[in-house]
Amino acid sequence: MPTRTVAVGSASGLHARPAKIFVEAAAKAPVKVTIRVGEKKPVPAKSMLSVLALGAKQGTEVILEADGDGADEALDGLAALLAQDLDADDAH
């Protein structure tokens, strides 16, 4: 199963606006994507409550996983998104 490890780039971490942008992008992915912190249980990346519950702050490394056709492309896009400061006005 393809995975990507990425440090959260947003100043506020995966909360509010950054989480919403990430969850919306994950929901559009052609494959099921999960996200986790460390060895914790993976949660669906398209679930706002699950993503918020991760408590990922700026610099926290998260692991994205997906399987199926288009998984690598989906993970590349989502990892690039998470690495940005999604709190910035010109993000995405």
The residues that are catalytic are 15
Q: How far apart are CA 39 and CA 91, in angstroms?
A: 29
Q: How far is C-alpha 82 from the chain's CA centre?
A: 6
Return the exposure string of 17-38: e unless at least 16 CB atoms fall within 10 Å of the residue's CB, then b. ebbebbbebbeebebebbbbbe
Cβ-proximal residues to 53 (8 Å cutoff; 6+ apart), any chain? 43
